[in-house]
Chains A and B, each alone.
Chain A
């Protein structure tokens, strides 16, 4: 499975757009990029998944350049409730039955 690298932590003010970048230089052809969010003492929650270009849902956007060696999770106008750990996962996750390998994640802190 492709290894991912993301910043350990980030701080941002309320109302700003937050972009978290993940590097995955060894991504394979059949790998998808998936982001999960985890609040303290809770299980992770799926945010978004993409294969290439751009994916947008009601929560976030995911930007993937043509070479797919990195991806950026974009959270629009964050609020205090977005303080959490965000995990970038890369693997053949299209079917969802594959075991997930979590990296260190990015601890995002929103400042009032």
Chain B
């Protein structure tokens, strides 16, 4: 199946710094990618929908100025956590669909574990 990668797989940063997470579709193009956040022992919560060439759509309660999303190409979306704080520590996961597959499944990246000290 299609492959989605994320980089880095884990990151530790100091409070107040910004962290960028990359999501790439390796063997397919994706006009739409999704960003999720998952706290320990909890389910995935959708944060935003990333659209290539246009602004992201954020879910209610997600601060767009804190979680900056850029989808500059058909294979890359980035999530920047600005001025990170310990409460932003979480597992961040992206997903995308292979539009050429004709199947209704989304492919998820391996996730990025963010720890803010």
Interface residues of A (CB under 8 A from B): 32, 34, 38, 41-46, 49, 87, 93-97, 99-105
Contacts and interface: CB of A to CB of B under 8 A. Distances in A.
Given A41-B91, A44-B44, A102-B43, 4 more contacts: A34-B105, A43-B94, A96-B97, A96-B103
A87 B105 CA distance: 14
15 contacts: A32-B104, A38-B44, A42-B111, A43-B94, A43-B109, A45-B108, A95-B97, A96-B103, A97-B97, A99-B46, A100-B34, A100-B106, A101-B46, A102-B44, A104-B43
Contacts of A104: 43
Interface of B: 1, 4, 31-32, 34, 36, 43-46, 49, 91, 93-95, 97-99, 101, 103-111, 113
Nearest to B46: A99
A97 B104 CA distance: 8
Contacts of B46: 99-102
A106 to B, nearest CB: 11
Contacts of A96: 97-99, 101, 103-106
Nearest to B101: A96
B32 to A, nearest CB: 5
Contacts of A101: 46
> Which A-B residue pairs are the 4 nearest by beta carbons?
A43-B108, A96-B97, A46-B105, A96-B104
A97 B49 CA distance: 10
Given A41-B111, A99-B34, A100-B34, A49 B105 contact: yes
Given A101-B46, A102-B44, A43 B95 contact: yes
A100 B97 CA distance: 12
A97 B32 contact: yes
Nearest to B43: A102
B106 A46 contact: yes
Nearest to B91: A41
